[in-house]
Structures are given as structure tokens and as C-alpha cells.
Amino acid sequence: MVLDDLGSSLRGTLDKLQGKTTLSEDDVEAIVKEIQRSLLSADVDVDLVMALSDSIRERAVEEEPPAGTTARDHVLKIVYEEMVELVGESTDLPLEEQTIVLAGLQGSGKTTTAAKMAWWFSKKGLRPAVVQTDTFRPGAYEQAKEMCERAEVEFYGNPDNDDPVDIARTGLEETADADVHIVDTAGRHALEEVLIDELERIESVADPDRNLLVLDAAIGQGAKDQAERFHDAVGIDGVVITKLDGTAKGGGALAAVDQTDSSIAFLGTGEEVKDVERFEASGFISRLLGMGDLKQLSERVERAMAETQAEEDWDPEDLMQGEFTLKDMRNQMNAMNRMGPLDQVLDMIPGLGGGIKDQLPEDAMDMTQERLRDFEVIMDSMTDAELEHPRAIGQSQIERIARGSGKDEETVRELLEQHKMMSQMMKQFQGMGEGDMQRMMKQMGGGGGGGGGGGLGGMGPFGD
């Protein structure tokens, strides 16, 4: 996940309390020092780290843990609550008609963010449009157009017009039928007067409901200064933190924004248009500490299933009756691919992200993704009859499939064995009554991170 180093460091620190039923002051002090080291390594401001560690130290020593709660779970809950407080609330962003202007320095990721946000709004049932006004950076129009095509959202730009204000005016008129207008603006290497003037003139035309500042996570705690300067110059209603997947300083950027009069709206977590998520402090910190995020997970599952159904004419409920075929398995794999990188998905599952994932080899996720791609290639080399009745596939067919797919026979057998295991699991599900299913889901929701499960519907992992 994003901030992997910070997350694994915090989880490793808390795991040192495993098996303890009581906490001494020395235990607390050792844990606090480790947490300080982890946060400072993530470029969190020293004063913030000291204030946070004081709160954790005081609460861990003075608060009595509930009956039956282990020392680790008690401290985990305190760390979770204090870190949620540290990063602050999410920017208010209702799902309704609105105009959003994006501002930021050159290289912060505004153009990519515009397409990502448009994609996000489209998945919420709104019709977005991106208006590209950057006439300063070479290639800005082409990049924006390509990203919006990948996001399958409406786009307006004019590479023959060098007046960004006129482009904004015309673009808003041409895309008047859209529910959400996202106006991408030019950046500079610094907050210069010419940039401020351009933003103010675009604002006067766009009359935005919200101004969002786009910040590169790599600036760390420098996010505080940049957010304050942009806010003083043009007014900022929220911040988008980009490139969180590529820096260890993201924690500093997240914490710094809350020290301004602003808040965080979105997080950019990769290069694809779907690598964006609405920031919610409780779910984000829960994932960071290895406790999962069932709300974010359920949203991804629903979206992936809907997209797969639309493309493949496939109903997941069919899995609960009849034979589980290789076609069903391929549809499940397609849905998984649409949920995003496997390591991000695992982080959202209580008990699977965090600690368990930390024990895997560094390349385990890449190997798993590669194996899934191998399986897909192999299935493409099978006949419809083989996909429908994989148990009937014999040695001669395995040899033919291996030659046709360019994969070895062992990988073909591995796919068939994987299908056999999944088929047996589906039969177990088919035999479950509604009460059995509810008990299983309750266990999943209650077992994350050793500290209580992640709840759906916006609840935190401790039911708050």
C-alpha cells in the first residue's frame, strides 16, 4: 500500500507487545520512542510527533483497558485514535453539480488528478467533464486528452488558443450538460505573481464551488507552507495528495495539511486513472495499522463486479448454483484486476493486510499478479468445452494448451488445481444457509489487526 515503510514500521512496533497482558511505564516508553522514529522517518513535523507521542504516552499509562483486552490491542486503539486526529477530517465534497478548479505548482500531478477525479465522479453516477486550460506546459493538452479518453470522461481543450481564461469560458459553455466541471490550470516552478493572476482570472470566469490544491507527496512537511501560501493567494478549500505510492515522505504531507486551514480531499496512489481514492482518515489509518478498511473494499468490489457484469454478461449470483467453471474463474479474475493492485486490496481485508503481508517476500505481490496473467493467457488457449468442463482435460490437452499459450505444462496443471480448490470452496458456500453466511461475515469484520474489526458504512475498526 502507500506509505508501506511507515505502516510496516508501526505494525512491527505494536507487535512487540504481543502476548503482554499489562503494560509497564518502560513498555510504554519503548513503544513511544519507536513510534517517534517511524513518524520522523516519514517526514512528519517534529512538534507534531512530540505532541502525538505525549498523548499516546499519557493515555497508555492512565487509561484502563477494557476487560479482556490485551496490552497490544489497548495501545493499538490509542495509536489509531491519535493518528486519525493527527491527519484530520476529509474535505467536504458532496455528490452534486459543482465546479472545481485545480491549482498547484508544475509537476505536482494536476493533469493526471483531473482525469482521476473525473473518473471517480463518473463511478458515483455523475457526468463529469475536464476543461484543460494549461497553455504554459508543452504537451499538457495531449496528456489531458489521453488521460480523459482512458477515464472515458468528457474533455475540452484548445491547443490553438493561448488564452487560458478564454479556454475556461468556452470549455464550460461547451460542456454545459456535465454535472461536475473540473478545471485544470497551469502551474509554475514557484508561486509567482503571473500564476496567481492567472488563477484569479480563471476563477472569475469559472466561479468554482471549490478550489483544490494538488500537492506532490514527496514535499513531505513542506506541504504545510505550500498550502498556506496558496490559501493566502487564491483561497483553497481542500488538498489532493498525489504520488503517495512513490515516496516515504507521504506521512509528513498528510499530517502537515491538517495544520493549515485546509483538509484532504483525494489521494493519488498510482499512475492509472483508477488509482485514486477519497480520503477518509479512519479507513486510511486503519489500513496503515494492518486493520483493514471494509468500507473501501466493499466499494471496490461492487464497482469491479458491476463493470465485469456489464462487459462479460455475467451474474456473480450464478456462482451460488450449478458448476463452477473456468469461465466463472476468469470472470472472478477480471473483477479482481478491476479492484486495483493486489497489495492494495489485501491491505483492505482485516487480518490479511499489514502483519501477514509484511511476512511475504518483497516480490510476492508481483509474482502473484504475473501468475494471474499467465492463467488468463492459458485460458485464452482453451476451447469453450474445456472452459466449461475443466475436469475432463487430459494429458494430451494439457500439452496442446501449453504449446498454444507459450506456458509450461506445470503452470497449466497449477491453473487446473487452483480451479479445483476454488470449485470445492464454492460448493461449501452453496451449502451455507443465510445464518452461516452472516456468522462468517461477522467473523471477518471482527478479526482485523487483533483490535476489533473494520466496520462497513463508515464505522472505524473499533466501532466508533
CATH number, domain at 137?
3.40.50.300
What gap in Å lies between CA 159 and CA 162, rounded to an integer?
7
Specify the CATH number for the domain of residue 10.
Answer: 1.20.120.140
Whether 66 is covered by a domain: the verdict is yes
Query: Is 110 one of the annotated binding-site residues?
Result: yes
Coil, strand, or helix at residue 139? coil
Taking the whole predicted model, whether its pTM rises above 0.75 is answered as: no
CB-neighbour burial class of residue 250 (10 A; exposed 0-12, middle 13-18, buried 19+): buried
The alpha-helical segments, DSSP class H, found in 322-361 are: 326-338, 342-347, 355-358
Task: Bin 432: left if φ > 0, else alpha if -120 < ψ < 50, else beta.
Answer: beta
Whose CA is closest to 36, among 16, 15, 61, 57?
57
Q: Using an 8 Å Cβ cutoff, are 182 and 126 in contact?
A: no
Is the domain of 328 the same as that of 407?
A: yes
Query: What does the block give as the cell for 14?
Result: 505494536
Whether 54 is covered by a domain: the verdict is yes
Is the domain of 160 the same as that of 268?
A: yes
H or E segment at 114? Answer: helix 110-123
Query: Is 26 one of the annotated binding-site residues?
Result: no
Q: Using an 8 Å Cβ cutoff, are 184 and 111 in contact?
A: yes
Query: Is 188 one of the annotated binding-site residues?
Result: yes
Coil, strand, or helix at residue 186? coil
Is the domain of 115 the same as that of 53?
A: no
State the total domains in the chain: 3
Its domain, for residue 219, covers: 98-279
Query: Is 281 one of the annotated binding-site residues?
Result: no
Whether 402 is covered by a domain: the verdict is yes
pLDDT on residue 269: 85
- The tens digit of pLDDT for each residue in 355-369 reads 545 555 555 555 567
Is the domain of 112 the same as that of 54?
A: no
Query: What does the block give as the cell for 238?
Result: 481542500
Query: Is 105 one of the annotated binding-site residues?
Result: yes
Strongest mean pLDDT among 102-111, 163-172, 281-290, 429-438 = 163-172
Whose CA is closest to 219, among 191, 266, 251, 258?
251
pLDDT on residue 145: 97
Strand partners, 100: 182, 210
Work out the angle between the directed axes of helices 4-15 and 281-288 (0-180°, nearest 10). 60
Query: Is 449 one of the annotated binding-site residues?
Result: no
Query: Is 404 one of the annotated binding-site residues?
Result: no
Is the domain of 133 the same as that of 238?
A: yes
Query: Is 187 one of the annotated binding-site residues?
Result: yes
Query: Is 411 one of the annotated binding-site residues?
Result: no
177-193: average pLDDT: 91
Query: Is 245 one of the annotated binding-site residues?
Result: yes
What gap in Å lies between CA 367 and CA 373, rounded to an integer?
10
Query: Is 108 one of the annotated binding-site residues?
Result: yes
- The tens digit of pLDDT for each residue in 199-214 reads 999 999 999 999 999 9
Whether 154 is covered by a domain: the verdict is yes
